[in-house]
Protein backbone atom coordinates (compact mmCIF):
# COMPACT_ATOMS: atom_id res chain seq x y z
CA UNK A 1 0.00 0.00 0.00
CA UNK A 2 1.41 3.42 -0.90
CA UNK A 3 2.00 5.98 1.82
CA UNK A 4 -0.39 8.38 0.09
CA UNK A 5 -3.15 5.76 0.05
CA UNK A 6 -2.41 4.87 3.66
CA UNK A 7 -2.71 8.52 4.71
CA UNK A 8 -5.94 8.84 2.73
CA UNK A 9 -7.44 5.80 4.45
CA UNK A 10 -6.40 7.05 7.90
CA UNK A 11 -7.88 10.49 7.26
CA UNK A 12 -11.15 9.13 5.86
CA UNK A 13 -11.46 6.68 8.75
CA UNK A 14 -10.94 9.46 11.31
CA UNK A 15 -13.41 11.65 9.44
CA UNK A 16 -16.00 8.89 9.53
CA UNK A 17 -15.46 8.46 13.28
CA UNK A 18 -15.77 12.20 13.89
CA UNK A 19 -18.95 12.38 11.80
CA UNK A 20 -20.41 9.47 13.77
CA UNK A 21 -19.47 11.19 17.04
CA UNK A 22 -20.92 14.52 15.96
CA UNK A 23 -24.05 12.76 14.67
CA UNK A 24 -24.48 10.98 17.99
CA UNK A 25 -23.99 14.23 19.91
CA UNK A 26 -26.56 15.98 17.74
CA UNK A 27 -28.98 13.11 18.30
CA UNK A 28 -28.52 13.31 22.06
CA UNK A 29 -29.12 17.05 22.02
CA UNK A 30 -32.26 16.68 19.90
CA UNK A 31 -33.71 13.16 20.09
CA UNK A 32 -36.11 12.39 17.22
CA UNK A 33 -39.76 12.79 18.01
CA UNK A 34 -42.00 9.78 18.44
CA UNK A 35 -45.29 11.42 17.49
CA UNK A 36 -47.45 10.47 14.52
CA UNK A 37 -50.63 12.44 13.84
CA UNK A 38 -50.27 13.95 17.31
CA UNK A 39 -49.98 10.52 18.98
CA UNK A 40 -46.91 9.66 21.05
CA UNK A 41 -46.15 6.22 19.67
CA UNK A 42 -43.56 5.48 22.35
CA UNK A 43 -46.19 5.76 25.09
CA UNK A 44 -49.11 4.09 23.26
CA UNK A 45 -50.01 0.43 23.71
CA UNK A 46 -51.11 -1.95 20.95
CA UNK A 47 -54.76 -2.02 22.15
CA UNK A 48 -54.80 1.77 22.13
CA UNK A 49 -53.26 1.87 18.64
CA UNK A 50 -56.04 -0.43 17.48
CA UNK A 51 -58.64 1.93 18.94
CA UNK A 52 -56.98 4.88 17.21
CA UNK A 53 -56.87 3.06 13.87
CA UNK A 54 -60.50 1.98 14.23
CA UNK A 55 -61.47 5.63 14.79
CA UNK A 56 -59.32 6.76 11.82
CA UNK A 57 -56.95 8.87 13.92
CA UNK A 58 -54.06 6.95 12.38
CA UNK A 59 -53.64 4.06 9.99
CA UNK A 60 -51.15 1.27 9.38
CA UNK A 61 -49.51 3.03 6.43
CA UNK A 62 -48.67 6.09 8.54
CA UNK A 63 -47.47 3.88 11.37
CA UNK A 64 -45.31 1.75 9.10
CA UNK A 65 -43.84 4.78 7.35
CA UNK A 66 -42.97 6.27 10.74
CA UNK A 67 -40.97 3.18 11.66
CA UNK A 68 -39.30 2.95 8.26
CA UNK A 69 -38.13 6.56 8.68
CA UNK A 70 -36.89 5.82 12.21
CA UNK A 71 -34.89 2.87 10.93
CA UNK A 72 -33.30 4.98 8.17
CA UNK A 73 -32.49 7.72 10.68
CA UNK A 74 -31.29 5.71 13.67
CA UNK A 75 -30.05 2.37 12.43
CA UNK A 76 -26.70 3.76 11.17
CA UNK A 77 -25.95 4.51 14.84
CA UNK A 78 -27.69 1.53 16.43
CA UNK A 79 -27.07 -1.34 13.97
CA UNK A 80 -30.20 -2.95 15.38
CA UNK A 81 -31.88 -3.98 12.12
CA UNK A 82 -30.26 -6.29 9.55
CA UNK A 83 -33.07 -6.46 6.97
CA UNK A 84 -36.16 -4.40 6.16
CA UNK A 85 -39.08 -6.15 4.51
CA UNK A 86 -39.50 -5.21 0.84
CA UNK A 87 -43.25 -5.69 1.20
CA UNK A 88 -43.78 -3.56 4.33
CA UNK A 89 -45.67 -0.76 2.56
CA UNK A 90 -47.86 -3.18 0.62
CA UNK A 91 -48.57 -5.10 3.82
CA UNK A 92 -49.66 -1.90 5.54
CA UNK A 93 -51.98 -1.01 2.65
CA UNK A 94 -53.50 -4.48 2.87
CA UNK A 95 -53.99 -4.13 6.63
CA UNK A 96 -55.83 -0.83 6.19
CA UNK A 97 -58.09 -2.37 3.55
CA UNK A 98 -58.83 -5.29 5.87
CA UNK A 99 -59.76 -2.88 8.68
CA UNK A 100 -62.14 -1.01 6.42
CA UNK A 101 -63.76 -4.36 5.70
CA UNK A 102 -64.38 -5.04 9.39
CA UNK A 103 -61.22 -6.96 10.34
CA UNK A 104 -60.26 -6.50 14.01
CA UNK A 105 -57.47 -8.99 14.63
CA UNK A 106 -55.32 -8.14 17.70
CA UNK A 107 -52.17 -7.24 15.73
CA UNK A 108 -53.79 -5.94 12.55
CA UNK A 109 -51.45 -3.42 10.92
CA UNK A 110 -48.95 -3.49 13.81
CA UNK A 111 -45.29 -3.45 12.63
CA UNK A 112 -43.17 -6.05 14.46
CA UNK A 113 -39.46 -6.88 13.98
CA UNK A 114 -38.22 -10.41 14.66
CA UNK A 115 -34.73 -11.62 15.48
CA UNK A 116 -32.71 -12.76 12.48
CA UNK A 117 -32.71 -16.39 13.54
CA UNK A 118 -36.47 -16.77 12.96
CA UNK A 119 -37.48 -17.90 9.48
CA UNK A 120 -39.55 -15.31 7.62
CA UNK A 121 -40.77 -15.67 4.05
CA UNK A 122 -39.12 -13.23 1.66
CA UNK A 123 -36.33 -12.16 4.01
CA UNK A 124 -33.03 -13.97 4.71
CA UNK A 125 -32.57 -15.80 8.00
CA UNK A 126 -28.85 -15.68 8.76
CA UNK A 127 -28.31 -15.86 12.55
CA UNK A 128 -25.97 -12.96 11.75
CA UNK A 129 -23.51 -15.20 9.91
CA UNK A 130 -22.32 -14.94 6.32
CA UNK A 131 -22.50 -18.73 6.28
CA UNK A 132 -26.30 -18.35 5.88
CA UNK A 133 -26.28 -15.18 3.77
CA UNK A 134 -29.22 -15.21 1.37
CA UNK A 135 -30.93 -18.25 2.93
CA UNK A 136 -34.69 -17.64 2.75
CA UNK A 137 -36.78 -20.44 4.29
CA UNK A 138 -40.54 -20.03 4.55
CA UNK A 139 -42.16 -18.62 7.68
CA UNK A 140 -41.51 -20.31 10.99
CA UNK A 141 -44.66 -21.36 12.84
CA UNK A 142 -44.50 -18.32 15.13
CA UNK A 143 -44.07 -16.00 12.13
CA UNK A 144 -47.16 -17.60 10.58
CA UNK A 145 -49.09 -17.03 13.82
CA UNK A 146 -48.04 -13.37 14.07
CA UNK A 147 -49.10 -12.75 10.49
CA UNK A 148 -52.37 -14.59 11.08
CA UNK A 149 -53.01 -12.17 13.96
CA UNK A 150 -52.51 -9.30 11.49
CA UNK A 151 -48.93 -8.27 12.27
CA UNK A 152 -46.65 -6.72 9.68
CA UNK A 153 -43.20 -8.25 9.99
CA UNK A 154 -41.25 -5.11 9.24
CA UNK A 155 -37.77 -6.59 9.28
CA UNK A 156 -35.14 -8.72 11.00
CA UNK A 157 -33.17 -7.67 14.08
CA UNK A 158 -29.42 -7.95 14.55
CA UNK A 159 -28.17 -10.37 17.21
CA UNK A 160 -25.11 -11.86 18.79
CA UNK A 161 -24.03 -14.15 15.96
CA UNK A 162 -25.33 -17.73 16.31
CA UNK A 163 -27.14 -16.49 19.46
CA UNK A 164 -23.76 -15.98 21.14
CA UNK A 165 -22.87 -19.68 20.89
CA UNK A 166 -19.85 -19.48 18.62
CA UNK A 167 -16.83 -17.86 20.26
CA UNK A 168 -15.25 -17.24 23.63
CA UNK A 169 -14.82 -14.42 24.33
CA UNK A 170 -17.41 -12.51 22.32
CA UNK A 171 -19.07 -9.12 22.14
CA UNK A 172 -22.80 -9.27 22.76
CA UNK A 173 -24.69 -7.77 19.86
CA UNK A 174 -21.97 -8.39 17.28
CA UNK A 175 -22.62 -10.37 14.12
CA UNK A 176 -20.66 -10.71 10.92
CA UNK A 177 -23.54 -9.44 8.80
CA UNK A 178 -25.00 -6.84 11.18
CA UNK A 179 -21.90 -5.47 12.91
CA UNK A 180 -22.06 -4.27 16.51
CA UNK A 181 -25.45 -3.32 17.93
CA UNK A 182 -25.38 -0.23 20.16
CA UNK A 183 -27.77 0.45 23.00
CA UNK A 184 -29.88 3.63 22.68
CA UNK A 185 -29.54 5.00 26.21
CA UNK A 186 -25.75 5.37 25.99
CA UNK A 187 -24.40 4.48 22.58
CA UNK A 188 -21.01 3.14 23.64
CA UNK A 189 -22.58 0.74 26.15
CA UNK A 190 -23.44 -2.84 25.31
CA UNK A 191 -27.09 -3.82 24.69
CA UNK A 192 -26.57 -7.34 26.07
CA UNK A 193 -27.44 -10.39 24.02
CA UNK A 194 -28.13 -12.38 22.16
CA UNK A 195 -31.44 -10.68 21.23
CA UNK A 196 -29.57 -7.38 21.23
CA UNK A 197 -31.21 -5.95 18.14
CA UNK A 198 -34.68 -6.93 19.35
CA UNK A 199 -34.11 -5.17 22.66
CA UNK A 200 -32.88 -2.02 20.93
CA UNK A 201 -35.70 -2.13 18.35
CA UNK A 202 -38.34 -1.99 21.08
CA UNK A 203 -36.54 0.62 23.19
CA UNK A 204 -35.71 2.98 20.33
CA UNK A 205 -39.12 2.76 18.61
CA UNK A 206 -37.93 1.03 15.47
CA UNK A 207 -41.11 -1.09 15.60
CA UNK A 208 -44.09 -1.36 17.93
CA UNK A 209 -42.50 -4.45 19.51
CA UNK A 210 -40.01 -7.19 18.74
CA UNK A 211 -39.45 -10.91 19.06
CA UNK A 212 -36.26 -12.35 20.56
CA UNK A 213 -35.08 -15.84 21.40
CA UNK A 214 -33.47 -17.20 24.54
CA UNK A 215 -31.44 -20.20 25.58
CA UNK A 216 -30.17 -18.59 28.79
CA UNK A 217 -30.67 -14.85 29.25
CA UNK A 218 -30.99 -13.78 25.63
CA UNK A 219 -34.45 -12.25 26.02
CA UNK A 220 -34.35 -10.99 29.58
CA UNK A 221 -30.86 -9.47 29.56
CA UNK A 222 -31.30 -7.27 26.46
CA UNK A 223 -34.75 -6.35 27.72
CA UNK A 224 -33.36 -5.31 31.10
CA UNK A 225 -30.39 -3.47 29.58
CA UNK A 226 -32.59 -1.51 27.18
CA UNK A 227 -35.43 -0.64 29.54
CA UNK A 228 -37.89 -3.09 27.97
CA UNK A 229 -40.37 -5.69 29.12
CA UNK A 230 -39.31 -9.17 27.99
CA UNK A 231 -41.03 -12.53 28.42
CA UNK A 232 -39.19 -15.84 28.32
CA UNK A 233 -42.13 -18.22 27.97
CA UNK A 234 -42.50 -21.71 29.33
CA UNK A 235 -40.74 -24.14 27.00
CA UNK A 236 -43.38 -25.28 24.52
CA UNK A 237 -45.66 -22.24 24.67
CA UNK A 238 -44.12 -20.92 21.44
CA UNK A 239 -42.97 -23.30 18.72
CA UNK A 240 -39.23 -23.59 18.00
CA UNK A 241 -39.72 -25.00 14.47
CA UNK A 242 -38.07 -22.75 11.90
CA UNK A 243 -35.85 -21.02 14.46
CA UNK A 244 -32.06 -21.42 14.29
CA UNK A 245 -31.33 -23.44 17.44
CA UNK A 246 -28.82 -23.90 20.19
CA UNK A 247 -30.78 -26.58 22.03
CA UNK A 248 -34.36 -27.78 21.80
CA UNK A 249 -34.16 -28.44 25.55
CA UNK A 250 -33.78 -24.75 26.43
CA UNK A 251 -34.60 -22.62 23.38
CA UNK A 252 -37.71 -20.50 23.09
CA UNK A 253 -38.71 -17.31 21.35
CA UNK A 254 -40.62 -14.60 23.19
CA UNK A 255 -41.84 -10.99 23.05
CA UNK A 256 -39.89 -7.82 23.83
CA UNK A 257 -41.87 -4.60 24.17
CA UNK A 258 -41.91 -1.23 25.90
CA UNK A 259 -44.72 -2.20 28.26
CA UNK A 260 -46.34 -5.27 29.79
CA UNK A 261 -49.55 -4.79 27.80
CA UNK A 262 -47.85 -5.07 24.42
CA UNK A 263 -45.78 -8.05 25.58
CA UNK A 264 -49.02 -9.77 26.64
CA UNK A 265 -50.68 -9.10 23.27
CA UNK A 266 -47.70 -10.47 21.39
CA UNK A 267 -47.40 -13.50 23.68
CA UNK A 268 -50.95 -14.67 22.97
CA UNK A 269 -50.72 -14.09 19.25
CA UNK A 270 -47.98 -16.70 18.73
CA UNK A 271 -49.19 -19.56 20.94
CA UNK A 272 -50.44 -22.75 19.33
CA UNK A 273 -49.76 -26.46 18.95
CA UNK A 274 -47.30 -27.10 16.10
CA UNK A 275 -47.04 -30.58 14.63
CA UNK A 276 -43.36 -29.88 13.91
CA UNK A 277 -42.54 -29.16 17.58
CA UNK A 278 -43.57 -31.88 20.00
CA UNK A 279 -43.06 -29.67 23.05
CA UNK A 280 -46.01 -27.48 22.03
CA UNK A 281 -48.46 -30.37 22.66
CA UNK A 282 -48.01 -29.75 26.38
CA UNK A 283 -49.60 -26.32 26.20
CA UNK A 284 -53.08 -27.75 25.68
CA UNK A 285 -55.21 -26.42 28.53
CA UNK A 286 -52.47 -24.03 29.64
CA UNK A 287 -52.12 -21.57 26.72
CA UNK A 288 -54.21 -18.54 25.78
CA UNK A 289 -54.52 -16.43 22.67
CA UNK A 290 -55.33 -13.36 24.78
CA UNK A 291 -53.12 -12.75 27.79
CA UNK A 292 -54.33 -9.18 28.31
CA UNK A 293 -57.15 -10.66 30.40
CA UNK A 294 -54.58 -11.31 33.11
CA UNK A 295 -53.34 -7.70 33.38
CA UNK A 296 -54.49 -6.91 36.90
CA UNK A 297 -53.52 -3.67 38.65
CA UNK A 298 -54.32 -5.36 41.98
CA UNK A 299 -52.44 -8.61 41.39
CA UNK A 300 -49.82 -7.86 44.06
CA UNK A 301 -52.41 -7.48 46.80
CA UNK A 302 -51.92 -10.45 49.12
CA UNK A 303 -49.35 -12.00 46.72
CA UNK A 304 -46.31 -13.69 48.26
CA UNK A 305 -43.06 -12.78 46.51
CA UNK A 306 -39.68 -14.32 47.23
CA UNK A 307 -36.42 -12.43 46.75
CA UNK A 308 -33.40 -14.20 45.24
CA UNK A 309 -30.04 -12.55 45.83
CA UNK A 310 -27.30 -15.14 46.39
CA UNK A 311 -25.40 -15.91 43.22
CA UNK A 312 -27.10 -13.30 41.06
CA UNK A 313 -24.45 -10.64 41.73
CA UNK A 314 -21.34 -10.09 43.81
CA UNK A 315 -22.47 -8.03 46.83
CA UNK A 316 -18.98 -6.66 47.44
CA UNK A 317 -18.34 -5.50 43.88
CA UNK A 318 -21.70 -4.45 42.42
CA UNK A 319 -23.95 -4.65 45.47
CA UNK A 320 -23.63 -0.92 46.21
CA UNK A 321 -24.82 -0.16 42.66
CA UNK A 322 -27.71 -2.59 42.26
CA UNK A 323 -28.99 -3.29 45.78
CA UNK A 324 -30.64 0.14 46.18
CA UNK A 325 -32.70 -0.64 43.06
CA UNK A 326 -33.64 -4.05 44.43
CA UNK A 327 -34.57 -2.47 47.76
CA UNK A 328 -36.76 0.12 46.00
CA UNK A 329 -38.45 -2.70 44.10
CA UNK A 330 -39.19 -4.55 47.33
CA UNK A 331 -40.63 -1.38 48.85
CA UNK A 332 -42.90 -0.93 45.81
CA UNK A 333 -44.12 -4.51 46.04
CA UNK A 334 -44.95 -4.07 49.71
CA UNK A 335 -46.72 -0.80 49.00
CA UNK A 336 -48.96 -2.68 46.54
CA UNK A 337 -49.90 -5.16 49.26
CA UNK A 338 -47.47 -8.01 48.62
CA UNK A 339 -45.78 -10.03 51.31
CA UNK A 340 -42.06 -10.21 50.52
CA UNK A 341 -39.88 -13.07 51.75
CA UNK A 342 -36.20 -12.23 51.38
CA UNK A 343 -33.49 -14.85 51.07
CA UNK A 344 -35.47 -17.32 48.95
CA UNK A 345 -32.43 -18.25 46.90
CA UNK A 346 -32.64 -20.82 44.10
CA UNK A 347 -30.07 -23.64 44.26
CA UNK A 348 -28.29 -23.67 40.91
CA UNK A 349 -25.52 -26.11 41.77
CA UNK A 350 -26.81 -28.54 39.10
CA UNK A 351 -26.20 -25.98 36.36
CA UNK A 352 -22.51 -26.88 36.37
CA UNK A 353 -23.66 -29.38 33.73
CA UNK A 354 -25.47 -26.81 31.58
CA UNK A 355 -22.69 -25.94 29.13
CA UNK A 356 -21.80 -29.60 28.57
CA UNK A 357 -25.43 -30.39 27.76
CA UNK A 358 -25.78 -27.42 25.42
CA UNK A 359 -22.61 -28.31 23.51
CA UNK A 360 -23.69 -31.83 22.57
CA UNK A 361 -27.29 -30.77 21.93
CA UNK A 362 -26.16 -27.94 19.65
CA UNK A 363 -24.07 -30.22 17.47
CA UNK A 364 -27.13 -32.31 16.62
CA UNK A 365 -29.77 -29.59 16.62
CA UNK A 366 -27.93 -27.16 14.34
CA UNK A 367 -27.38 -29.94 11.80
CA UNK A 368 -31.09 -30.78 11.90
CA UNK A 369 -32.00 -27.13 11.23
CA UNK A 370 -29.52 -26.84 8.35
CA UNK A 371 -30.68 -30.08 6.72
CA UNK A 372 -34.35 -29.10 7.09
CA UNK A 373 -34.40 -25.42 6.17
CA UNK A 374 -31.17 -24.37 4.43
CA UNK A 375 -30.80 -25.39 0.78
CA UNK A 376 -29.09 -24.14 -2.35
CA UNK A 377 -25.91 -22.16 -2.95
CA UNK A 378 -24.40 -19.55 -0.64
CA UNK A 379 -23.79 -16.39 -2.71
CA UNK A 380 -20.73 -15.53 -0.60
CA UNK A 381 -18.85 -18.80 -1.01
CA UNK A 382 -20.40 -19.92 -4.28
CA UNK A 383 -20.75 -23.35 -2.69
CA UNK A 384 -23.61 -25.30 -1.12
CA UNK A 385 -24.77 -23.96 2.24
CA UNK A 386 -23.21 -25.66 5.29
CA UNK A 387 -25.13 -28.72 6.47
CA UNK A 388 -23.21 -29.59 9.64
CA UNK A 389 -21.39 -27.85 12.46
CA UNK A 390 -18.08 -28.95 10.88
CA UNK A 391 -19.16 -27.14 7.69
CA UNK A 392 -19.81 -23.95 9.67
CA UNK A 393 -16.37 -24.13 11.26
CA UNK A 394 -14.82 -24.61 7.82
CA UNK A 395 -16.76 -21.61 6.47
CA UNK A 396 -15.52 -19.35 9.27
CA UNK A 397 -11.93 -20.47 8.71
CA UNK A 398 -12.23 -19.67 5.00
CA UNK A 399 -13.86 -16.25 5.57
CA UNK A 400 -12.04 -14.73 8.51
CA UNK A 401 -12.28 -11.30 6.89
CA UNK A 402 -16.08 -11.51 7.30
CA UNK A 403 -16.37 -13.57 10.48
CA UNK A 404 -13.58 -12.07 12.58
CA UNK A 405 -12.28 -10.98 14.97
CA UNK A 406 -13.77 -13.75 17.08
CA UNK A 407 -12.70 -17.37 17.34
CA UNK A 408 -14.82 -20.54 16.98
CA UNK A 409 -14.05 -21.99 20.40
CA UNK A 410 -17.62 -22.92 21.34
CA UNK A 411 -18.23 -24.34 17.87
CA UNK A 412 -15.09 -26.45 18.23
CA UNK A 413 -16.00 -27.68 21.70
CA UNK A 414 -19.43 -28.71 20.44
CA UNK A 415 -17.94 -30.43 17.40
CA UNK A 416 -15.75 -32.44 19.75
CA UNK A 417 -18.81 -34.06 21.35
CA UNK A 418 -20.80 -37.02 20.04
CA UNK A 419 -23.94 -34.94 19.73
CA UNK A 420 -27.19 -36.23 21.23
CA UNK A 421 -26.10 -39.59 22.62
CA UNK A 422 -26.80 -41.29 25.96
CA UNK A 423 -24.12 -39.24 27.69
CA UNK A 424 -25.68 -36.06 26.38
CA UNK A 425 -29.11 -37.10 27.64
CA UNK A 426 -27.61 -37.84 31.06
CA UNK A 427 -26.11 -34.33 31.21
CA UNK A 428 -29.50 -32.83 30.43
CA UNK A 429 -31.21 -34.97 33.05
CA UNK A 430 -28.61 -33.94 35.63
CA UNK A 431 -29.16 -30.28 34.77
CA UNK A 432 -32.85 -29.64 34.26
CA UNK A 433 -34.48 -32.02 36.73
CA UNK A 434 -32.72 -30.72 39.89
CA UNK A 435 -33.33 -27.08 38.96
CA UNK A 436 -37.02 -27.70 38.40
CA UNK A 437 -37.21 -29.47 41.74
CA UNK A 438 -35.36 -26.61 43.46
CA UNK A 439 -37.79 -24.00 42.11
CA UNK A 440 -40.89 -26.10 42.79
CA UNK A 441 -39.83 -26.93 46.35
CA UNK A 442 -38.79 -23.36 47.15
CA UNK A 443 -42.09 -21.93 45.92
CA UNK A 444 -44.18 -24.60 47.67
CA UNK A 445 -42.35 -24.33 50.99
CA UNK A 446 -42.81 -20.55 51.09
CA UNK A 447 -46.24 -20.48 49.38
CA UNK A 448 -44.84 -18.12 46.74
CA UNK A 449 -46.63 -16.66 43.74
CA UNK A 450 -43.29 -15.66 42.18
CA UNK A 451 -39.62 -15.07 42.91
CA UNK A 452 -37.95 -11.80 41.96
CA UNK A 453 -34.29 -11.16 41.16
CA UNK A 454 -32.29 -8.48 39.42
CA UNK A 455 -32.28 -9.00 35.66
CA UNK A 456 -29.05 -7.17 34.85
CA UNK A 457 -26.50 -4.68 36.05
CA UNK A 458 -25.49 -1.41 34.38
CA UNK A 459 -24.56 -1.97 30.74
CA UNK A 460 -20.83 -2.33 30.24
CA UNK A 461 -18.81 -0.43 27.60
CA UNK A 462 -18.78 -2.40 24.37
CA UNK A 463 -15.37 -3.95 23.81
CA UNK A 464 -14.45 -5.65 20.54
CA UNK A 465 -11.09 -6.89 21.80
CA UNK A 466 -10.99 -10.56 20.72
CA UNK A 467 -8.94 -11.34 23.82
CA UNK A 468 -11.44 -9.84 26.27
CA UNK A 469 -14.92 -9.18 24.86
CA UNK A 470 -17.91 -8.58 27.12
CA UNK A 471 -17.19 -6.80 30.42
CA UNK A 472 -13.58 -6.52 29.23
CA UNK A 473 -13.22 -10.02 30.69
CA UNK A 474 -14.30 -8.91 34.18
CA UNK A 475 -17.25 -11.28 34.53
CA UNK A 476 -17.22 -10.88 38.30
CA UNK A 477 -19.15 -7.65 37.57
CA UNK A 478 -21.94 -9.49 35.77
CA UNK A 479 -25.45 -9.36 37.24
CA UNK A 480 -27.99 -11.93 36.09
CA UNK A 481 -30.69 -14.38 37.15
CA UNK A 482 -31.75 -15.98 33.87
CA UNK A 483 -30.38 -19.49 34.39
CA UNK A 484 -33.11 -20.76 36.74
CA UNK A 485 -35.98 -20.26 34.28
CA UNK A 486 -33.80 -21.10 31.28
CA UNK A 487 -32.60 -24.49 32.52
CA UNK A 488 -35.94 -25.48 34.06
CA UNK A 489 -37.93 -24.41 31.01
CA UNK A 490 -40.14 -22.28 33.26
CA UNK A 491 -41.49 -18.79 32.60
CA UNK A 492 -40.07 -15.44 33.62
CA UNK A 493 -40.71 -11.80 32.77
CA UNK A 494 -38.52 -8.72 33.24
CA UNK A 495 -39.80 -5.19 33.82
CA UNK A 496 -37.86 -1.89 34.17
CA UNK A 497 -36.90 -1.31 37.81
CA UNK A 498 -34.49 1.62 37.87
CA UNK A 499 -31.43 3.32 36.46
CA UNK A 500 -27.77 3.69 37.33
CA UNK A 501 -26.31 6.81 35.71
CA UNK A 502 -29.12 6.58 33.18
CA UNK A 503 -28.46 2.90 32.38
CA UNK A 504 -31.62 0.75 32.72
CA UNK A 505 -31.81 -2.12 35.20
CA UNK A 506 -34.68 -4.61 35.22
CA UNK A 507 -36.35 -6.85 37.76
CA UNK A 508 -37.32 -10.41 36.83
CA UNK A 509 -40.43 -12.22 38.06
CA UNK A 510 -39.85 -16.00 37.95
CA UNK A 511 -42.63 -18.58 38.14
CA UNK A 512 -43.28 -22.23 37.49
CA UNK A 513 -44.40 -24.06 34.37
CA UNK A 514 -47.25 -22.31 32.48
CA UNK A 515 -47.07 -19.43 34.99
CA UNK A 516 -47.46 -16.68 32.37
CA UNK A 517 -50.94 -15.52 33.55
CA UNK A 518 -49.79 -15.11 37.15
CA UNK A 519 -46.51 -13.43 36.19
CA UNK A 520 -48.17 -11.00 33.78
CA UNK A 521 -50.59 -9.85 36.48
CA UNK A 522 -47.79 -9.28 38.99
CA UNK A 523 -45.55 -7.54 36.46
CA UNK A 524 -48.38 -5.32 35.24
CA UNK A 525 -49.30 -4.24 38.76
CA UNK A 526 -45.65 -3.43 39.49
CA UNK A 527 -45.25 -1.54 36.20
CA UNK A 528 -48.38 0.54 36.68
CA UNK A 529 -47.48 1.37 40.28
CA UNK A 530 -43.89 2.43 39.56
CA UNK A 531 -43.89 3.82 36.00
CA UNK A 532 -40.11 3.49 35.86
CA UNK A 533 -39.39 3.56 32.15
CA UNK A 534 -38.19 6.73 30.43
CA UNK A 535 -37.37 6.79 26.70
CA UNK A 536 -33.72 6.61 25.58
CA UNK A 537 -31.83 9.80 24.84
CA UNK A 538 -29.08 8.42 22.55
CA UNK A 539 -26.24 9.85 24.64
CA UNK A 540 -22.81 9.13 23.07
CA UNK A 541 -20.98 8.17 26.29
CA UNK A 542 -20.86 8.52 30.05
CA UNK A 543 -17.34 7.16 30.27
CA UNK A 544 -16.73 4.37 32.76
CA UNK A 545 -16.59 4.30 36.53
CA UNK A 546 -17.58 0.74 37.33
CA UNK A 547 -15.60 -1.62 35.12
CA UNK A 548 -11.85 -1.69 35.77
CA UNK A 549 -9.38 -1.96 32.94
CA UNK A 550 -11.59 -0.17 30.42
CA UNK A 551 -9.88 2.96 29.05
CA UNK A 552 -11.41 6.39 29.27
CA UNK A 553 -13.50 7.45 26.28
CA UNK A 554 -11.62 8.73 23.19
CA UNK A 555 -10.39 12.31 23.28
CA UNK A 556 -13.03 13.58 20.87
CA UNK A 557 -15.77 12.37 23.25
CA UNK A 558 -14.43 13.72 26.52
CA UNK A 559 -15.81 17.20 25.96
CA UNK A 560 -19.30 15.73 25.76
CA UNK A 561 -19.04 13.63 28.92
CA UNK A 562 -19.95 16.30 31.48
CA UNK A 563 -23.05 17.40 29.55
CA UNK A 564 -24.10 13.80 28.90
CA UNK A 565 -23.79 12.88 32.57
CA UNK A 566 -25.91 15.90 33.54
CA UNK A 567 -28.53 14.83 31.03
CA UNK A 568 -28.70 11.41 32.65
CA UNK A 569 -29.02 13.00 36.08
CA UNK A 570 -31.91 15.07 34.77
CA UNK A 571 -33.56 11.86 33.59
CA UNK A 572 -33.22 10.33 37.06
CA UNK A 573 -34.70 13.47 38.63
CA UNK A 574 -37.64 13.21 36.23
CA UNK A 575 -38.00 9.55 37.11
CA UNK A 576 -38.22 10.28 40.82
Residue numbers annotated as active site: 115, 194, 218
State how far the Cα of 472 lies from the Cα of 547, in Å rounded to an integer.
Answer: 8
Per the DSSP assignment, residues forming a β-bridge with 257 are: 229
Distance CA 112, CA 94 (A): 16
Residue 298: CB atoms within 10 A of its CB come to 13
Give the span between the Cα atoms of 188 and 543, in whole angstroms. Answer: 9
How is residue 456 annotated by DSSP? Answer: B
H or E stretch including 574? helix 555-575
- Label each residue of 309-326 as H, E or C: CECCECCCCCHHHHHHHH
Residues 6 or more apart whose Cβ sits within 8 Å of residue 416: none
Burial class (CB in 10 A: 0-12, 13-18, 19+), 235: buried
Report the DSSP beta bridge partners of residue 243.
118
For 49, 193, 215, 232, 429, the CA distances from 245, given in Å and listed in that order, are 34, 15, 9, 15, 19
CA distances from 30 to 25, 26, 227 (A): 9, 6, 20
Contact 483, 354 (CB under 8 A): yes
Q: What are the φ and ψ backbone dihedral angles of 146, each rounded to 5 degrees?
A: -65, -45
Helix H, strand E, coil C: the string for 371-398 is HHHCCCECCCCCCECCCCHHHHHHHHHH
DSSP 181: -
What's the rounded Cα separation, in Å, for the pair 131 and 402?
10
User: How many CA atoms does the CB half-sphere of 199 hold within 13 Å?
Assistant: 39
Question: How far is Cα 41 from Cα 249, in angstroms, rounded to an integer?
Answer: 37
How far is the C-alpha of 526 from the C-alpha of 521, rounded, in Å? Answer: 9
Amino acid sequence: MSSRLRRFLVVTTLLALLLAVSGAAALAANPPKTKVSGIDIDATTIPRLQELMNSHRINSVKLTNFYLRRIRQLNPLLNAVITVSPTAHADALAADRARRNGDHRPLLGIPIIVKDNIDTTGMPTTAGSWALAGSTPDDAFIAQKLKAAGAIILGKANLSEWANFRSAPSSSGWSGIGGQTNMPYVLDRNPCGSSSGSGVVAAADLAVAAVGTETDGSIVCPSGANGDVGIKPTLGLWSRAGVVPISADQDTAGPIARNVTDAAVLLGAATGVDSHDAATAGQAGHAFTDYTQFLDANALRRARIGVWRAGTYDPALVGPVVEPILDHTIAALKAQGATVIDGTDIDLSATANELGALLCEFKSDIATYLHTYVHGTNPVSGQAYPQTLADLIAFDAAHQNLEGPWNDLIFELAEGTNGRDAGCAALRQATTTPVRAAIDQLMAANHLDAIIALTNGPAWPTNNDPNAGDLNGHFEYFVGSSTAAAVSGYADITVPAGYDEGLPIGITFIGGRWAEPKLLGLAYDYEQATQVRVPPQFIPTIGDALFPGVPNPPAQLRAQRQQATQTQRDLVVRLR
